[in-house]
Amino acid sequence: MISPRIKAIGDMIPGNTHIIDVGCDHALLDVYVVKKNQNVTALATDISANALEQAKKNIKENALEDKIKTQVADGLKHVKFKKNDYIVVSGMGANTIVDILGKYAKKIDHVIIQANRGVDGIRMVMNNYGFKIVDEKVVYDKRYYIIIKYEKGKEKLNLIDFWLGPIIKNSSYETYFKYLVKYYENLADTIPDYEYQKKLYLKRASELKTIIEKKWDR
Protein backbone atom coordinates (compact mmCIF):
# COMPACT_ATOMS: atom_id res chain seq x y z
CA MET A 1 0.00 0.00 0.00
CA ILE A 2 1.51 3.29 -1.12
CA SER A 3 1.62 6.05 1.50
CA PRO A 4 -0.32 9.31 0.96
CA ARG A 5 2.99 11.23 0.95
CA ILE A 6 4.61 9.15 -1.78
CA LYS A 7 1.39 9.06 -3.82
CA ALA A 8 1.12 12.86 -3.70
CA ILE A 9 4.71 13.26 -4.89
CA GLY A 10 4.18 10.74 -7.67
CA ASP A 11 0.97 12.39 -8.83
CA MET A 12 2.91 15.61 -9.50
CA ILE A 13 5.12 13.87 -12.06
CA PRO A 14 3.80 14.10 -15.63
CA GLY A 15 3.84 11.31 -18.18
CA ASN A 16 6.50 10.82 -20.82
CA THR A 17 9.37 11.94 -18.62
CA HIS A 18 12.48 10.65 -16.83
CA ILE A 19 12.82 10.86 -13.05
CA ILE A 20 16.00 11.21 -11.03
CA ASP A 21 14.88 10.11 -7.56
CA VAL A 22 17.56 11.36 -5.16
CA GLY A 23 17.64 9.44 -1.89
CA CYS A 24 15.16 6.90 -3.21
CA ASP A 25 15.36 4.60 -0.18
CA HIS A 26 13.40 1.52 -1.39
CA ALA A 27 12.28 3.08 -4.71
CA LEU A 28 8.61 3.01 -3.72
CA LEU A 29 8.01 6.31 -5.50
CA ASP A 30 9.63 5.12 -8.72
CA VAL A 31 7.67 1.88 -8.78
CA TYR A 32 4.41 3.74 -8.17
CA VAL A 33 4.99 6.32 -10.92
CA VAL A 34 6.25 3.89 -13.56
CA LYS A 35 3.40 1.44 -12.93
CA LYS A 36 0.96 4.33 -13.19
CA ASN A 37 2.45 5.64 -16.45
CA GLN A 38 4.28 3.34 -18.84
CA ASN A 39 5.92 6.30 -20.59
CA VAL A 40 7.92 7.20 -17.47
CA THR A 41 11.42 5.91 -16.72
CA ALA A 42 13.47 6.47 -13.59
CA LEU A 43 16.92 6.43 -12.05
CA ALA A 44 16.68 5.60 -8.35
CA THR A 45 19.72 6.80 -6.42
CA ASP A 46 20.73 6.55 -2.79
CA ILE A 47 23.90 7.06 -0.81
CA SER A 48 23.17 3.76 0.97
CA ALA A 49 24.06 0.60 -0.94
CA ASN A 50 21.91 -1.39 1.50
CA ALA A 51 18.87 0.74 0.73
CA LEU A 52 19.45 0.24 -2.98
CA GLU A 53 19.53 -3.53 -2.55
CA GLN A 54 15.99 -3.36 -1.20
CA ALA A 55 15.09 -0.97 -4.01
CA LYS A 56 16.37 -3.47 -6.57
CA LYS A 57 14.22 -6.19 -4.97
CA ASN A 58 11.13 -3.99 -5.19
CA ILE A 59 11.88 -3.12 -8.80
CA LYS A 60 12.41 -6.79 -9.71
CA GLU A 61 9.24 -7.91 -7.90
CA ASN A 62 7.29 -5.48 -10.06
CA ALA A 63 9.13 -6.53 -13.27
CA LEU A 64 10.32 -2.97 -13.91
CA GLU A 65 14.06 -3.55 -14.38
CA ASP A 66 13.88 -2.16 -17.91
CA LYS A 67 12.21 1.06 -16.73
CA ILE A 68 13.92 1.77 -13.40
CA LYS A 69 17.70 1.77 -13.02
CA THR A 70 19.62 2.23 -9.77
CA GLN A 71 22.84 3.97 -8.78
CA VAL A 72 24.70 4.49 -5.52
CA ALA A 73 25.29 8.23 -5.39
CA ASP A 74 25.80 11.09 -2.95
CA GLY A 75 23.12 13.52 -4.04
CA LEU A 76 23.61 14.32 -7.72
CA LYS A 77 27.35 13.69 -7.78
CA HIS A 78 28.31 11.55 -10.78
CA VAL A 79 24.65 11.24 -11.78
CA LYS A 80 23.95 11.77 -15.47
CA PHE A 81 20.76 13.69 -16.13
CA LYS A 82 19.26 15.94 -18.78
CA LYS A 83 18.01 19.46 -18.22
CA ASN A 84 14.37 18.46 -18.74
CA ASP A 85 14.47 15.45 -16.39
CA TYR A 86 12.41 15.65 -13.20
CA ILE A 87 14.65 15.77 -10.13
CA VAL A 88 12.84 14.52 -7.03
CA VAL A 89 14.32 15.13 -3.58
CA SER A 90 12.16 14.03 -0.67
CA GLY A 91 12.32 12.90 2.93
CA MET A 92 15.27 15.11 3.89
CA GLY A 93 15.89 18.33 5.80
CA ALA A 94 16.13 21.71 4.10
CA ASN A 95 19.90 22.08 4.47
CA THR A 96 20.56 18.70 2.88
CA ILE A 97 18.22 19.45 -0.03
CA VAL A 98 19.81 22.86 -0.62
CA ASP A 99 23.28 21.29 -0.58
CA ILE A 100 22.21 18.66 -3.11
CA LEU A 101 20.61 21.10 -5.55
CA GLY A 102 22.90 24.10 -5.14
CA LYS A 103 25.71 23.04 -7.46
CA TYR A 104 23.35 21.87 -10.18
CA ALA A 105 20.57 24.48 -10.14
CA LYS A 106 21.59 25.94 -13.50
CA LYS A 107 21.44 22.50 -15.11
CA ILE A 108 17.91 21.66 -13.92
CA ASP A 109 14.50 22.77 -15.21
CA HIS A 110 12.14 20.68 -13.06
CA VAL A 111 12.33 19.85 -9.35
CA ILE A 112 9.89 18.30 -6.89
CA ILE A 113 10.78 18.77 -3.23
CA GLN A 114 9.36 17.36 -0.03
CA ALA A 115 11.40 18.61 2.90
CA ASN A 116 10.85 17.20 6.37
CA ARG A 117 11.51 20.64 7.86
CA GLY A 118 12.59 24.14 6.86
CA VAL A 119 10.12 24.53 4.00
CA ASP A 120 10.15 28.34 4.23
CA GLY A 121 13.91 28.32 3.79
CA ILE A 122 13.56 26.00 0.78
CA ARG A 123 11.18 28.46 -0.88
CA MET A 124 13.60 31.35 -0.34
CA VAL A 125 16.62 29.47 -1.68
CA MET A 126 14.81 28.05 -4.71
CA ASN A 127 13.52 31.52 -5.52
CA ASN A 128 17.12 32.79 -5.42
CA TYR A 129 18.18 29.87 -7.64
CA GLY A 130 15.72 31.10 -10.29
CA PHE A 131 12.85 28.63 -9.84
CA LYS A 132 9.13 29.35 -9.66
CA ILE A 133 6.50 27.33 -7.83
CA VAL A 134 3.98 25.72 -10.18
CA ASP A 135 2.21 23.46 -7.68
CA GLU A 136 2.05 22.84 -3.93
CA LYS A 137 0.24 20.24 -1.87
CA VAL A 138 -0.40 19.67 1.81
CA VAL A 139 -0.56 15.98 2.66
CA TYR A 140 -1.34 14.37 5.98
CA ASP A 141 0.53 11.10 6.50
CA LYS A 142 0.81 10.69 10.30
CA ARG A 143 1.98 14.33 10.19
CA TYR A 144 1.72 17.17 7.70
CA TYR A 145 4.03 17.27 4.69
CA ILE A 146 4.45 20.01 2.10
CA ILE A 147 5.26 19.00 -1.47
CA ILE A 148 6.40 21.67 -3.91
CA LYS A 149 6.82 21.42 -7.67
CA TYR A 150 9.26 23.85 -9.30
CA GLU A 151 10.10 24.90 -12.82
CA LYS A 152 12.87 27.20 -13.99
CA GLY A 153 11.58 30.78 -14.02
CA LYS A 154 11.31 33.94 -11.96
CA GLU A 155 8.51 34.98 -9.62
CA LYS A 156 8.04 37.58 -6.90
CA LEU A 157 7.12 36.20 -3.51
CA ASN A 158 6.28 38.04 -0.30
CA LEU A 159 6.94 36.92 3.26
CA ILE A 160 3.65 35.02 3.56
CA ASP A 161 4.42 33.24 0.29
CA PHE A 162 7.75 32.08 1.69
CA TRP A 163 6.48 30.63 4.97
CA LEU A 164 2.98 29.51 3.94
CA GLY A 165 3.25 29.09 0.16
CA PRO A 166 1.83 31.17 -2.72
CA ILE A 167 -0.53 28.39 -3.78
CA ILE A 168 -1.27 26.92 -0.35
CA LYS A 169 -2.32 30.33 1.07
CA ASN A 170 -5.15 30.44 -1.50
CA SER A 171 -6.13 26.80 -1.03
CA SER A 172 -8.88 25.10 0.97
CA TYR A 173 -6.65 23.37 3.54
CA GLU A 174 -8.74 24.58 6.49
CA THR A 175 -7.64 21.84 8.90
CA TYR A 176 -3.99 22.49 8.08
CA PHE A 177 -4.36 26.24 8.63
CA LYS A 178 -5.97 25.69 12.02
CA TYR A 179 -3.21 23.25 12.91
CA LEU A 180 -0.63 25.92 12.03
CA VAL A 181 -2.32 28.49 14.27
CA LYS A 182 -1.94 26.19 17.28
CA TYR A 183 1.57 25.21 16.18
CA TYR A 184 2.82 28.81 16.08
CA GLU A 185 0.98 29.80 19.26
CA ASN A 186 2.52 26.84 21.10
CA LEU A 187 5.96 27.76 19.79
CA ALA A 188 5.49 31.33 20.95
CA ASP A 189 4.56 30.11 24.45
CA THR A 190 8.00 28.53 24.80
CA ILE A 191 9.88 31.75 24.00
CA PRO A 192 10.50 34.73 26.35
CA ASP A 193 8.58 37.93 25.55
CA TYR A 194 11.75 39.86 24.67
CA GLU A 195 12.76 37.44 21.90
CA TYR A 196 12.00 38.53 18.30
CA GLN A 197 11.07 34.96 17.36
CA LYS A 198 8.08 35.08 19.71
CA LYS A 199 6.67 38.13 17.91
CA LEU A 200 7.26 36.43 14.55
CA TYR A 201 5.35 33.28 15.52
CA LEU A 202 2.46 35.27 16.98
CA LYS A 203 2.31 37.37 13.82
CA ARG A 204 2.11 34.23 11.70
CA ALA A 205 -0.67 32.84 13.89
CA SER A 206 -2.56 36.13 13.54
CA GLU A 207 -2.16 36.17 9.76
CA LEU A 208 -3.47 32.62 9.58
CA LYS A 209 -6.50 33.53 11.70
CA THR A 210 -7.26 36.35 9.26
CA ILE A 211 -7.08 33.93 6.33
CA ILE A 212 -9.36 31.47 8.15
CA GLU A 213 -11.90 34.19 8.96
CA LYS A 214 -12.02 35.36 5.34
CA LYS A 215 -12.34 31.85 3.94
CA TRP A 216 -14.49 29.92 6.38
CA ASP A 217 -15.76 31.92 9.37
CA ARG A 218 -18.38 34.01 7.61
Question: For the purposes of burial, counting CB atoms within 10 Å of the CB of 63, is it exposed (0-12), middle (13-18) or buried (19 or more)?
Answer: exposed
The structure's pTM equals 0.94
* pLDDT computed for residue 218 by the predictor: 59
Q: What is the DSSP track for 132-185?
A: EEEEEEEEESSSEEEEEEEEE------HHHHHH-TTGGGS--HHHHHHHHHHHH
Q: What is the pLDDT of residues 105-156, one digit of tens each?
A: 999 999 999 999 999 999 999 999 999 999 999 999 999 999 999 999 999 9
* pLDDT computed for residue 27 by the predictor: 95
Q: Give the pLDDT band (50/70/90) at residue 20.
A: very high
Across residues 15-43, what is the average pLDDT?
95
